[in-house]
Amino acid sequence: MICRYIKANTKTDTFTSNHKNRKHMKKTFTSLKKTTSAIAALVISGMTINASAEKLSGNTASEIAGMMTTGWNLGNTFDATGGKNGGYGLDAETSWGQPETTQEMITAVRKAGFNTIRIPVSWGNHSDFEENPENFTISEEWMARVKEVVDYCYNEDLFVIINIHHDNNSGNIHYMPEEDESNALFIKGVWRQIAEAFKDYDQHLIFEIMNEPRLVGNSSEWWFDINKPSEEIATALEMINKFNQIGVDEIRGNGSAENKDRVIMCPGYAACYEGCMSPDFKLPTDETPNRLAVSLHAYRPYELCLGNTSTWKDSNKQDIDDYFKPIYEKFIVGMGVPVIIGEESCSARFSRSNRTNQEDRVKWAEAYYTITKKYGMPAILWDNNVYKSNRGEAHGHFNRKELTWYDQEFIQKIMDVLGIESVENISIDYSLSIGPNPATNTIYVSSDNELQNISIYSTSGTRVMFKEISGNNAEIGISMLNRGIYNAVVKTELGINIIKLILK
């Protein structure tokens, strides 16, 4: 989706684009036509809108979650714990069978309509923690490579999430009392170093303290009785609260303005329903108000998404709604805290005759994303690049070598539900510009090519305005719009352009 973050101030006569100037940009912010007020314009160049203007800052976690329409996971890549040297070198990135991540991959994901990328990262094998736990150092080359891929995402104006991922599997984190001091040292040291490395990155970058923190190998590894947790689970819940707090304190303690403003995702036990709905789960105290979000993973219904069932049932829709509604009521309604679904997907199953359950998966996507949109929870699709299989872990969506989608119909259904136009269906108008004119409560559209119409959508995908337009210039009243975030979809004779508006 061609989508950028335009901030319009209703009290002034200008607007700016919340986009940090990147070294790889093809064009720069250009001032174009003006009406009775001073109006700046974005020049759309090729497949990218580029601008040097103020960074994204000052938004609450709920506002950032509202901007995150939908996302994609760079799975089984930087979270991999393999490699020729036991995971210690850069070859770990490809050790689980993935190709090396490129800018072209990230651009292709953005073109499909995604505006958020989660980059799971494992750190322990790339450090000397075992030898020097109190003052360990993460490999400079590993940190630099993670930053390089984060920059790929910034080049596309995407939101990015990085975390501590498989370190709870590989031996650095155990949620048991005897491991408490070691756990605390690891989490504190990792987040201290991440916060320093990314101290100048704006609110497009989000930190997630841990991935699915749980008792690996325990009989209650993935589920537990909320009302009667075992002694081991109770201890783990307490430790997870502690480690979330340590991570938040290290990030804020870095001192940079960006880290004090940054949105931080905090998981409950296993990042599951029981983990966050348990009365023992507590969000950290935070010196910066309204910057925390709950991290939730939700493969629902489990049997279809991860288990042994390949068939969608109409009753599944109510099951999904019943799952999310209490979470919505507890956090979003009750506490004003957003919930970000860091992982979700529906397994692709192939039979011996090479038939797949694609029709059932498309029905799942329609129901699932309708419900997450209803409750205002941005959902990030898990992708491990495993497609042609008959296992519950077959969550390959994007063919990273070919830069194509294995299941285009599935991806398109997600975008249709969310009201997102993918770039594959967009022809770029090289000189289209759009900007607000606060003096007259209008927006101004200009193009060297013939204008046809404009639609404005809310972030939930509801169209709130449509107007036929013609010629090369148009001024459209927006008095019916409240302050908030919108997608402006402008159609010209060359195709469709999408620009995100933030009206303040």
Fold of 64-424: TIM Barrel (3.20.20)
- Write phi, then psi, for 360 (nearest 5 degrees): -70, -40
The residue from 93, 156, 208, 343 that is catalytic is 343
Residue 343 designated active-site: yes
Residue 25 has a pLDDT of: 27
46 pLDDT higher than 90: no
Q: In this structure, which amino acid lies at residue 392?
A: G
The residue from 93, 156, 208, 212 that is catalytic is 212
139 pLDDT higher than 70: yes
Residue 246, token pair as written in the block: 């340590």
Domain extents in the chain: 5-55+427-503, 64-424
Q: Is the peptide bond before 301 cis (omega within 30 degrees of 0)?
A: yes
Contacts by 5-9 with C-beta closer than 8 Å and gap 24+? Answer: 5/56, 5/67, 5/157, 5/500, 5/502, 6/42, 6/434, 6/435, 6/499, 6/500, 6/501, 6/502, 7/54, 7/502, 7/504, 8/435, 8/436, 8/438, 8/501, 8/502, 8/503, 8/504, 9/438, 9/504
Of residues 260 and 171, the one with the higher pLDDT is: 260
Residue 214 has a pLDDT of: 94
305 pLDDT higher than 90: yes
76 pLDDT higher than 80: yes
Q: Which helix (H) or strand (E) holds 327?
A: helix 315-327
Residue 18 has a pLDDT of: 30
- Among 418-432, 456-470, 474-488, the minimum mean pLDDT is found in 418-432
Q: In this structure, which amino acid lies at residue 8?
A: A
Tell me the residue ranges of DSSP E strands in 91-172: 116-119, 159-163
Residues 263-286, mean pLDDT to the nearest whole number: 97
| CATH class of the domain comprising 5-55+427-503 | mainly beta
33 pLDDT higher than 50: no
Residues 178-205, mean pLDDT to the nearest whole number: 96
Q: Are 339 and 332 in contact (CB under 8 A)?
A: yes
Residue 177 has a pLDDT of: 83
Residue 179 designated active-site: no
3-class DSSP state of 179: helix
283 pLDDT higher than 90: yes
What digits encode the pLDDT tens for the residues 435-468?
A: 666 666 778 888 877 888 888 877 656 678 888 8
Q: Are 456 and 497 in contact (CB under 8 A)?
A: no
Residues 126-148, mean pLDDT to the nearest whole number: 95
Q: Are 10 and 41 in contact (CB under 8 A)?
A: no
Residues 23-38, mean pLDDT to the nearest whole number: 25
Non-local (6+) Cβ contacts of 295 within 8 A are 208, 209, 265, 266, 267, 271, 340, 342
